[in-house]
Amino acid sequence: MRILLVGAGGVGGAFAAIAARRDFFEQVVVADYDEAKARRAAEADDRFVAARIDASDAEAVAAVCREHRITHVMNAVDPVFNMPLFDGAFAAGADYLDMAMSLSKPHPESPYEKVGVKLGDEQFAVAGDWESAGRLALVGIGVEPGLSDVFARYAADHLFSDIDELGTRDGANLVVTDDAGNEVFAPSFSMWTTIEECLNPPVIYEKDRADVDGGWFTTPPFSEPEVFDFPEGIGPVECVNVEHEEVLLMPRWVDCKRATFKYGLGDEFITILKVLHTLGLDSTEKVRVKGVEVSPRDVVAAVLPDPATVGPRMKGKTCAGLHVTGTGKDGQPRSTYLYHVVDNEWTMSEYGHQCVVWQTAVNPVIALELLARGDWTGTGVLGPEAFDAVPFLDLLTEYGAPWGQREQS
């Protein structure tokens, strides 16, 4: 296996650090628009080499693949670059993995009721081409989407005979402080991506509405707040609806009556997002400022701390999980939370990377190892739900980050 890792930022750097401890691949080419950043990430192992790449150019991506005889393209950049990487991998005859699917577009007339272009629609539209070519595009294999999708497969196969709701619920108690110890606003993940998913209309799936848009519909941002009690000391966090790929992926492979995604953002974060939207600073359309064209969203992302650098000033834990309700294998009502908690202190001491990017990066490394071993096989455009969950969860534990299961009252 020869991997092209595109993106040497927070997640890409963590991916390199995790993969360096495994032996399932021959080479990793770490590529970034900033070649110096790629070189720093490539120092993790002598099987790594650095390269410069323009992720917005499918032909350039294909050329790098051919030059290095790449078998698998690992996308670790913002989803705005998904389609050039997706298309470039296909053109070069390589398999492809990403952690977020192709971008959505709100419904032009009823954005908070009807879906427009859904997350992943562009990729699923050419699934037949990938299948005919015998190639695999494994989409949504980060932590979210990714791990909760694996949990959905596990729940359907081993815990439930009938599923009412697959409810992804993510939360954290992370705090970032400045040099004086004061708490500061510093998102632990790509601000570009955070704005995209939090301000777009959230998507919900309901099976009994399958006659309209396949069962998918939208609501206003931050809708349906609920307090969810997260495990391992994180505690109660208010979660709200957010647009996310799990809702678009799970119903394709796992039979359920409803699928939702809610995230614990917190009042401060929601207020900041609303202000950015009000001021137009969430826009990706370029504006001219003193003779220079810039995207407002790019500016917001640029002035905030790089998520890759906040680890030493971060404390707390992050939790990704899936709350499943329905009927258990014994025929009785069941409510189970499958989850994965990671402590920032552990990831920093063990890997030198903060917990959110580490938790995101570990899942595609595991998926690639399963593909290399032949435990996971497939062609076409597939989500994590299309594969056996057990070997994945076993490897997650082997990697030093065990998952948990809690029965809900």
Q: What is the mean predicted confidence (pLDDT) over 201-209? A: 96
pLDDT at 266 over 90: no
Q: Are residues 175 and 97 in the same domain?
A: no
Q: Helical H runs in 212-291?
A: 245-253, 267-278
Q: Are residues 239 and 330 in the same domain?
A: yes
Instruction: Select from 138, 155, 186 the last residue of a domain.
Output: 138
pLDDT at 217 over 70: yes
CATH code at 119? Answer: 3.40.50.720
pLDDT band at 49 (very low <50, low <70, confident <90, very high): very high
Q: Are residues 156 and 124 in the same domain?
A: no
Q: Are residues 182 and 277 in the same domain?
A: yes
Q: Are residues 201 and 124 in the same domain?
A: no
Strands (E), 27-118: 27-32, 48-52, 72-75, 95-97
Q: Helical H runs in 202-295?
A: 245-253, 267-278
pLDDT at 113 over 80: yes
Average pLDDT of the chain?
93
Q: Are residues 174 and 319 in the same domain?
A: yes
Instruction: Select from 102, 121, 138 the last residue of a domain.
Output: 138
Spatial separation of the C-alpha atoms in residues 167 and 326, rounded to whole Å: 11
Residue 112 Rama label (left phi>0; alpha psi -120 to 50; beta): alpha
In eight-state DSSP terms, residue 215 is: G
Q: What is the pLDDT of residue 183?
A: 76
Whether residue 95 contacts residue 134, with contact meaning beta carbons closer than 8 Å, is answered with no
**Model confidence, pTM:** 0.92
| Single-letter amino acid code for the residue at 151 | F
The DSSP H or E segment spanning 11 is: helix 10-19
Q: Are residues 240 and 329 in the same domain?
A: yes
pLDDT at 189 over 70: no
Instruction: Select from 89, 108, 138 the last residue of a domain.
Output: 138
Q: What is the mean predicted confidence (pLDDT) over 110-134? A: 97
Q: Helical H runs in 43-172?
A: 58-67, 82-91, 121-124, 127-132, 147-154
Q: Per the domain annotation, does 197 fall within a domain?
A: yes
Total structural domains within the chain: 2
Q: Are residues 168 and 89 in the same domain?
A: no
Spatial separation of the C-alpha atoms in residues 78 and 300, rounded to whole Å: 15
Q: What is the pLDDT of residue 350?
A: 95
Domain that holds residue 125: 2-138
Instruction: Tell me which of 309 and 209 has the higher pLDDT.
Output: 209
The CB-based long-range contact list for 268-274 (8 Å cut-off, 24+ gap) reads 268/185, 269/185, 269/187, 270/222, 270/240, 272/185, 273/194, 273/195, 273/198, 273/199, 273/221
Percent of the chain exceeding pLDDT 70 equals 99
When mean pLDDT is compared across 86-95, 171-180, 339-348, 399-408, the lowest value belongs to 171-180
β-pairing, 216-218 vs 136-138, is unpaired
pLDDT band at 393 (very low <50, low <70, confident <90, very high): very high
Q: What is the pLDDT of residue 195?
A: 82
pLDDT band at 270 (very low <50, low <70, confident <90, very high): confident
Percent of the chain exceeding pLDDT 90 equals 79
Q: Any idea which residue has 């938790």 for tokens?
A: 359
Q: What is the pLDDT of residue 45?
A: 92
How far CA 113 is from CA of 105, 116, 201, 204, 218, in Å, comes to 13, 10, 9, 10, 5
